[in-house]
Amino acid sequence: MDVDDKDQKVINVTWHGRGGQGAVTAAMILAEAAYLDGYQGVTAAPFFGVERRGAPITATTRFSRKPIRTLSPTAQADVVVVLDERLLQTVDVLGGLKPNGLLILNSSSGPEKFCTDMDIAVATSDANSIAKEVGLVVAGTVLINTSLLGAFSKASCLVQMESLEKAIGENFSKQAAKVNIEGARLTYEATRINRSWHP
């Protein structure tokens, strides 16, 4: 791929989670961080099915070094982020991932558990444990969305942690931002990937 092609490439990220897990918020924060990182074209959008807490939901983030001229949904993503690994049993998350794509999972298991016949990179991080450790629990719900932004940064190398931290800081109060940034940093450090990945 020459430099011009790389500049024109649109990175498509699909987030799979359950209602209340913050997939939509994570998609929006990633778009803000990508903009801070120098991407000129950024979008984030939710896709809801049955709107209830715990129901599977999908959100997308798209970014490019050049303005994005089309807002139509994309059929396949370069990166798929799964906030709840149990969704693998009920949602075809891999069906929407491009060949040679990147799958990022919130899981205590290593990436080798999720390697498939597909030619994809797999990254895992136990965002649940990290979020609990730093105190990202509200009314019994463990908030993992911002922590997984750290996994995205490490596994994809597309958006710098510094930009993610700044975007998190712009979306939360000072104390909440501090805890969310700590969760993202720790998840970044804990992320394991089966092989290097490039879009």
In the chain, domain spans = 3-193
- State whether residue 176 is helix, strand or coil: helix
Q: pLDDT value at position 107? A: 97
Identify the band that residue 49 occupies on the pLDDT scale cut at 50, 70 and 90.
low
Q: How many CB atoms lie within 10 A of CB 50?
A: 9
102 forms bridges with which residues in the sheet?
A: 79, 121
The Cα 19–Cα 58 span in angstroms is 9
Scanning the chain, the segments in alpha helix (DSSP H) are: 3-8, 23-36, 127-134, 145-156, 161-171, 174-190
Element (H, E) at 137: strand 137-138
Q: pLDDT value at position 3? A: 41
Least trusted range by pLDDT, from 73-77, 121-125, 153-157: 73-77
pTM: 0.91
Does domain 3-193 fall under CATH 3.40.50.720? My reply is no
Q: pLDDT value at position 72? A: 74
Q: Is the pLDDT of residue 17 over 50?
A: yes
Q: pLDDT value at position 53? A: 64
Burial of 5 (0-12, 13-18, 19+ CB in 10 A): exposed
The Cα 116–Cα 100 span in angstroms is 12
Burial of 49 (0-12, 13-18, 19+ CB in 10 A): exposed
The upper half-sphere exposure of residue 144, i.e. CA atoms within 13 Å in the direction of its Cβ, equals 28
Q: Is the pLDDT of residue 50 over 90?
A: no
Identify the band that residue 70 occupies on the pLDDT scale cut at 50, 70 and 90.
confident
Mean pLDDT of the chain: 90
Angle (CA) 54 58 10, round 5°: 160
Identify the band that residue 78 occupies on the pLDDT scale cut at 50, 70 and 90.
very high
Scanning 17-123, the segments in alpha helix (DSSP H) are: 23-36
- Contact between 58 and 14 under an 8 Å Cβ cutoff? The reply is yes
Q: What is the pLDDT of residues 55-69, one digit of tens each?
A: 888 999 999 999 988
* Range 18-35 burial, b when 16+ CB lie within 10 A, else e: bbebbbbbbbbbbbbbbb
172 or 139, greater pLDDT: 172
Q: pLDDT value at position 139? A: 86
Percent of the chain with pLDDT over 90: 70
Q: What is the pLDDT of residues 84-99, one digit of tens each?
A: 999 999 989 898 899 9
Q: What is the pLDDT of residues 114-139, one digit of tens each?
A: 977 788 999 999 999 999 999 999 88
Q: pLDDT value at position 7? A: 59
Q: How many residues does the chain have?
A: 199
